[in-house]
Amino acid sequence: MEEITNIKTISEEYFKEFLGFLPDLLGALLWLVIGWWIIKIVVRYLKKFFTKRNHDPALTKFLLTLANGALVVLLLISVVGMLGIETTSFIAILGAAGLAIGLALQGSLSNFAGGVLILLLKPFKLGDWIEVNGISGSVKDISMFYTKLNTFGNQLAIIPNGELSNENIINYSAEEKRRDSITIGISYDSNIKLAKDTLLELLKEQKDILEDPAPAVVVTELGDSSVNLSVRFWANIDIFWDCHWYTIEEAKTRLEAAGISIPFPQRDVHLFNHSKESGQ
């Protein structure tokens, strides 16, 4: 009988404590629901804000994810505080856990930091043709840890952002126009002025080659087997390669028609009879 009385007393005490804790619990749950709703509204507003200002899609996605994560963490900390749990120790535990995770994932954090730098500084954007570490291709995707390139042969190159942010990058799509320099060798017996005039006429005939800056043909080197001419012109980036390939093919045809030969590498070999020179 005494045990039943003790159990009843304990139950009543716990029930009273539960009733006293119930308002805090209901308030915390209510704030959790309201806070979650507010976070969704804030994230939706930020998404509209970035969309109206034509921000980079990858940067927008990263900022929205970061903002959503930060707001959720703050909401959870405030809910824990409403339940009467000491938030100072809770934050310290989160900090220690974050430090341990950071030490274990140094490489991933380096890639993450590189992704942040790429998205903020924008050395390239989706669709740009870039070259880095001997790998060139069109930028297909920029994530927080890796950048994906679609190469000329339609292979997928995945480059860590940590490495990408610390290497020299050539962005071939950054400017609207691009200069070409094609080296063409002619024989030493050929007329240099005629060759230059022929090539320059070829450049001026192409409507896609820009008149300003003006195209030019200059002698750049007296090589071992040829006089090397540099055919230089400017073209808009979207039709640059069409002009490049056409100029190379047509240059050979025009030079041959003008009687100018394009030599292949050759050597003059002289043989000496040493036995005859020594009188044997």
Least confident of 55-69, 168-182, 184-198, 224-238: 55-69
Record: fold of 177-257: Alpha-Beta Plaits (3.30.70)
Whole-angstrom Cα distance, residue 41 to residue 37? 6
Q: With 90 as the cut, is the pLDDT of residue 197 above it?
A: yes
Residue 178 confidence (pLDDT):
92
pLDDT digits (tens, 9 = 90+) for 146-158: 889 999 889 999 9
pLDDT at residue 105 in the model: 47
List b or e across 48-65, with b for residues whose CB sees 16 or more CB atoms inside 10 angstroms: eebeeeeebebbbbbbbe
Calculate the CA dihedral of residues 91, 97, 102, 104 and round it to 10 degrees: 180
Residue 86 confidence (pLDDT): 65
Amino acid code (one letter) for 157? A
- Determine the pLDDT at residue 236: 93
Distance from C-alpha of 198 to C-alpha of 251, rounded to nearest angstrom: 8
pLDDT at 104: 47
- CA 178 vs CA 84, 132, 237: distances in Å: 65, 19, 6
Verdict on whether the full-model pTM lies above 0.85: no
Q: What is the mean pLDDT of residues 60-69?
A: 77
- Domain segments of the chain as ranges: 2-104, 123-171, 177-257
> What's the whole-number mean pLDDT along residues 267-280?
62
pLDDT band, residue 19 (cuts 50/70/90): low
Average pLDDT, the chain: 80
pLDDT cut 90: percent of the chain above it: 30
Q: How far apart are CA 120 and CA 132, in angstroms?
A: 19
Give me the mean pLDDT over the 50-76 stretch: 76
d(CA 103, CA 85): 28
More confident residue, 140 or 273: 140
Cβ neighbourhood burial of 107 (10 Å; 0-12, 13-18, 19+): exposed
Greater confidence, 80 or 155?
155
CATH number of 123-171: 2.30.30.60
* CATH code reported for the domain at 2-104: 1.10.287.1260
Instruction: Determine how β-strand 177-186 pairs with β-strand 227-236.
Output: antiparallel
pLDDT surpasses 90 at 17? no
pLDDT in tens, 2-16: 555 555 565 656 555
Region 15-20 average pLDDT: 57
∠ CA 135-136-138, nearest 5°, is 135
